[in-house]
Amino acid sequence: MKFFPLDSTTSLLTILCLVALLSPSAFSADSNKAQEKVIYHQTMTPTWLEEHASYIDSSYTKTPEQLTFNAGSVANAALLKVPMIPAGVLQYSAPLTVKIVVSHDVSIGTTQDSDISYGGSDGISVVGITMRNKADHRYNSPCHGFESTSGTSLSRSGWINASKPEVSDSFYPGQFVITLKLDERWGSCYTAHDGGFVKTTTFTKRLMLNKGLTLEVYKNDAHEKTGIKSIEVTILQDA
C-alpha cells in the first residue's frame, strides 16, 4: 500500500471526495455493520437443550435428532426455558432484536394438534410467536403473535390476531423464522407458504430487559404434542 504526502488541506479534501465518488455507500454500510452487535448466538440441539435448559417439561423423550414433547395434563404448559442474557447486563429498554429459527417434526405438525409458542421473557412477561399445526391453517394464519404472563404454564394463551390472513398452500412447513424487536414491542414470523408468508404483530407488554432475557416455549392444549429438532437464536444489540 502506498501512502501519499499531503502538502495542503486542498489535497486532503480532493482525496476524500474521490473516495466518496468511487464508493458512495461505503461509509454508511460499514458504520451500520459496526453499530449492530451480536451479543448472543446459540444453535440449540436436543442434547444441548437437555443439558442447558433451566426448565424442561417431564413429558419429553429424546433422541439425537429431536426432543419430543408428548401429551400432558396441563393446558398452556411450559415446555422449555433457556436463560440467554443474565440480569443486569442490559438496560431496561435496550434496542434489541431477537432472531429465532425453529425446526419442527413435520409429521407431527401435519397429523396432530401441535400449537407451539416461542417467546422472550424477562421472568415476568413473555412475548413471541405461536406456530399452528396444519389442520388449523383452514381457519387461521400458520403463525401469529402471543403475549402472556410467564410461568410453568401461561395464565392464558394470549394469542394476537390469529385468524387473518390465511394461506392458500396446505402443508406444515417444519421451519419457522421469528423476529422480535423487543424495544419496539414488535414481532414477525415467516413460513414458506405461498412463496413466502410473513405476518407482523405488535405487543402491549414491554419486557424489562435489565431483568435478563430467557427463551420460553409453551404449548396450547394439554393433549398437544411437538417434536423440536433444533432452535437457533441470535440476539443483536441495535444502534
**Which CATH number goes with the domain that contains 57?**
2.60.120.200
**Backbone torsions φ then ψ of 6, nearest 5 degrees:** -105, 115
Residue 23 lies in a domain: no
For the chain, the 3-state helix, strand and coil shares in percent, each to the nearest 5, are 20, 40, 40
Give a yes or no: residue 57 inside a domain: yes
Rounded Cα gap, residues 46 and 230, in angstroms: 7
Residue 28 lies in a domain: no
pLDDT digits (tens, 9 = 90+) for 121-158: 999 999 999 999 999 999 999 999 999 999 999 978 89
Instruction: Say what the pLDDT of residue 155 is.
Output: 79
Domain containing 148: what range?
Answer: 37-237
Q: Structure pTM?
A: 0.85
Tens of pLDDT, residues 49-92: 999 999 999 999 999 999 999 999 999 999 999 999 999 999 99
Give the C-alpha separation, 61 to 32, whole Å: 44
* Domains identified in the chain, total number: 1
User: 156 in helix, strand or coil?
Assistant: coil
